[in-house]
Amino acid sequence: MAARQSDAQEVTAWRPGVPGVTEVFHARFTEYAYPMHVHDAWTLLIVDDGAVRYDLERHEHGTPADTVTLLPPHVPHNGSPATADGFRKRVVYLDESILGEGLIGPAVDGPDLRDPLLRRRVGQLHSVLVRPGDELEAESRLTLIGERLRDLLRPRPATPDPPDPVLARTLRELLDARVADGLGLEEAARLLHAHPAHLVRAFSGAYGIAPHQYLTSRRVGRARRLLLDGVPPGETATAAGFYDQAHLTRHFKRLVGVTPGRYRSSAR
């Protein structure tokens, strides 16, 4: 993860290990204005403070805080602060495995999407992307974001997925077999011959919990057993499938209520 800052700007950029994401970019600018330029990826942008104005295909647009902006690849655009205090934004760049070329036209016609559900999901995705070790959650959230974007750009009648308990059970068995090693959503979809979004919905509908939440719960359960056996938290984190001890501590405290170290010291 690379970061640099000055009095007028703060920039952080990194490439997470999440299929479909080419870059994550967080920035705060007070005066800087982007000249006309293009990207070779989809630009999914939210503004947390201030506002941005930009031109796309010779039409002026703006990005207030309740808007999600989607800029298509290869289409020139610029950008500058729309307020005296500048703006703070979070951007995720997506390749064409998430959104295809067929959506470029609709995105040019309507790049600014006022959709509270989409805005919330994009914010949640960014919260996950800053935490290494939660790639399955990031994949799941990104899959639902891609689906929502396609629905907004090309509306179609809602057709709820029928219950699929067999698919849900098979995915659970895969997760059970890969607690420590982990399982990516893209890999699971390939193994089970199902669309990633359908996998997430089928599992959540059957068990009332998302696949990434289930996997994390299984890992915390394994960590509890190891800690009670006297294994130090650092070794427990690796053995249970967590990225590092901090990753274990964050999820362990959220699910158990205490840190791994305090849990281990309380054992009798």
On whether both 99 and 71 belong to a single domain, the answer is yes
On whether both 120 and 42 belong to a single domain, the answer is yes
pLDDT of residue 268: 67
DSSP string, 190-252: HHHTS-HHHHHHHHHHHHSS-HHHHHHHHHHHHHHHHHHTT--HHHHHHHHT-SSHHHHHHHH
What per-residue string of b and e applies to 61-99 under the rule 16 or more CB within 10 Å gives b?
A: bebeeebbbbbbbebebebbbbeeebbbbbbbbbeeebb
Neighbouring CB atoms inside 10 A of 131's CB total 16
Tell me the β-bridge partners of 60.
55
The full 3-state SS of 135-179, as one line of letters, equals: HHHHHHHHHHHHHHHHHHHCCCCCCCCCCCHHHHHHHHHHHHHCC
On whether both 11 and 99 belong to a single domain, the answer is yes
- Report the CATH number at residue 7: 2.60.120.10
On whether both 115 and 139 belong to a single domain, the answer is yes
Length of the chain counted residue by residue:
268
Structural domain of 225 = 213-265
- Report the CATH number at residue 253: 1.10.10.60
On whether both 204 and 222 belong to a single domain, the answer is no
pLDDT of residue 258: 93
On whether both 124 and 138 belong to a single domain, the answer is yes
On whether both 233 and 248 belong to a single domain, the answer is yes
Mean pLDDT per 10-residue section of the chain, whose length is 268 residues: 60 95 95 90 95 88 87 93 91 94 93 95 96 94 96 77 89 96 94 94 94 97 95 96 96 94 84
Which of 152, 168, 190 marks a domain boundary?
Answer: 152
pLDDT of residue 162: 76
Radius of gyration of the chain (CA): 21
On whether both 71 and 148 belong to a single domain, the answer is yes
Number of structural domains found in the chain: 3
On whether both 110 and 224 belong to a single domain, the answer is no
pLDDT of residue 59: 83
